[in-house]
Amino acid sequence: MQRIGVIGVGEIGRAIVEGLCDEGGTSPGIFLSPRGARTAAELSERYEGVRVCADNQEVVDRSELVIIAVRRQDHHEALAGLELDDHKTVVSLLAGVAIDDLRRTLATGAPIVRAIPLPAVRERRSATVTCPSHPVVDSLFQQLGGALPVEDEDAFNVFSALTGTLTAHYSYLATLTSWAAGHGIASDTADRYVRGLFRNVGRSLDDGTRPLHRLAADHETPGGNNERIRTTWFDPANATALKEALDGLLADLRQERPAGPAFSPDRPAGRDGSADPA
Ligand SMILES: NC(=O)C1=CN([C@@H]2O[C@H](COP(=O)(O)OP(=O)(O)OC[C@H]3O[C@@H](n4cnc5c(N)ncnc54)[C@H](OP(=O)(O)O)[C@@H]3O)[C@@H](O)[C@H]2O)C=CC1
């Protein structure tokens, strides 16, 4: 296990540290940037091998593998001017920043690998897409639930766009709950029931022998309630709107001019006001 540095100790930086250090994991030396101060301090108190550095350069100097986990709009400020020699390995979690662009910012010949870890790496339950494949980086994520190396950055950006659908899924469930509450069901009862319904959906996804359209058909009575909602709400127009939203996101991730209107949040997005949620 290498000495690992983390620049940007927010939601995903914390999940990686917890996944590496929690019971059963190897506890490597981990060096954290001082920004995200509260989380960094908490992690360094909780885990023996974790310490907070004075600045980002110290993180780089002490680490063999450096994970960049700042928001995209902060990466120039966080990284420009750092000295990073070619023997280190860089893992970039920055969505929408190509390897060549990051290499220019870092001015380094070190290998740069992009990765999409998800919060479930905390429990070592989530496969992480990586690009390009790199033995050290892939084995790091293997330890956190699996590595899924993809061939090129085009493919990587498609996976990145897919991960952008997660919070819409939670909002969909919240909408179901509030609809039921609007019809007189106690909110906590509706909440519990919806969670239970979709926990079972999650379990049925473990059955890899049945394709997704087969799962849909198997859960549907012909002419029944599920068919009605699927065909009246998730109709072709709705499916097309979803695909167009994904196309727009993909164009942004590839740093192309999007075909449709560009995404411009009119309110702070994300838990912390970040306009660049994963
Ligand atoms: N959350 C997720 O599930 C995933 C996120 N990502 C990517 O990871 C990155 C981080 O996302 P997320 O953890 O959600 O974001 P957060 O906002 O939770 O964390 C970002 C952290 O970066 C810190 N930071 C800001 N500027 C600097 C700087 N100059 N030097 C060092 N640290 C700095 C922030 O500190 P402060 O609080 O002081 O501002 C904050 O702690 C993003 O690029 C995102 O696209 C990728 C995959 C999944």
pLDDT digits (tens, 9 = 90+) for 116-175: 999 999 999 999 999 999 999 999 999 999 999 999 999 999 999 999 999 999 999 999
Cβ of 116 closer than 6 Å to ligand 1, yes or no, is yes
Sort 2 into a burial class: Cβ within 10 Å, 0-12 / 13-18 / 19+: middle
pLDDT for res 255: 86
CA angle (139, 64, 8) in 5-degree steps: 90
pLDDT band at 262 (very low <50, low <70, confident <90, very high): low
Ligand 1 binding pocket includes 14 (Cβ within 6 Å):
no
Least-confidence region, from 22-36, 92-106, 197-211, 213-227: 22-36
Residues 38-84: tens digit of each pLDDT: 999 999 999 989 999 999 999 999 999 999 999 999 999 999 999 99
Instruction: For the chain, give every domain's residue range.
Output: 4-154, 166-234
Instruction: Specify the DSSP class assigned to residue 262.
Output: P
Provide CATH code, domain 4-154.
3.40.50.720
230 Ramachandran zone, left/alpha/beta (phi>0; psi -120 to 50):
alpha
Point out the least confidently predicted range of 184-198, 199-213, 252-266. Answer: 252-266
pLDDT band at 207 (very low <50, low <70, confident <90, very high): confident
Separation of CA 14 and ligand 1 centre (Å):
10
Contact 63, 3 (CB under 8 A): yes
Backbone angles phi, psi at 7, to 5 degrees: -105, 110
25 or 210: which leads in pLDDT? 210
Give mean pLDDT, residues 225-236: 94
| Residue nearest atom 34 of ligand 1, based on CA coordinates | 36
The preferred substitution site among 7, 11, 97 for testing ligand 1, maximizing ligand atoms within 8 Å of CB, is: 11
So what's the pLDDT on residue 2?
84
Residue 230 confidence (pLDDT) above 50? yes
In the structure, what pLDDT confidence band is assigned to residue 263 with cuts at 50, 70 and 90? low
So what's the pLDDT on residue 258?
A: 46
11 lines ligand 1 (CB under 6 A): yes
Nearby residues of 102 by Cβ (< 8 Å), 6 or more positions away: 68, 75, 79, 90, 92, 94, 112
**Quick check: CB of 117 below 6 Å from ligand 1?**
yes
Cis peptide before 265 (omega within 30 of 0): no
Q: For 15, what's the count of Cα atoms within 13 Å in the CB-facing half-sphere?
A: 19
Alpha helices in the chain (DSSP H): 11-21, 37-46, 56-62, 75-79, 99-106, 135-143, 153-163, 166-182, 187-205, 212-218, 225-232, 236-253
If one residue of 14, 17, 43, 70 were mutated to test the ligand 1 pocket, choosing by the most ligand atoms within 8 A of its CB, it would be 70
Cα distances (angstroms) measured from residue 24 to each of 125, 144, 258: 13, 11, 45
Centre of ligand 1 from the C-alpha of residue 273, in Å: 11
Residue 163 has what pLDDT?
95
Q: Sign of dihedral through CA atoms 209, 139, 30, 63?
A: negative
Whether residue 271 is predicted with pLDDT greater than 90 in this model: the reply is no
Asked if residue 238 belongs to a known ligand binding site, the reply is no
Candidate of 6, 7, 35, 114 to mutate for ligand 1, largest count of ligand atoms within 8 Å of Cβ = 35
Query: Please, which pLDDT band fits residue 181 given cuts at 50, 70 and 90?
Result: very high
Residue nearest to atom 44 of ligand 1 (CA): 278
Tell me what pLDDT residue 1 has: 64
pLDDT score recorded for residue 269 = 47
Buried b (16+ CB within 10 A) or exposed e, 98-109: bbeebbebbebe
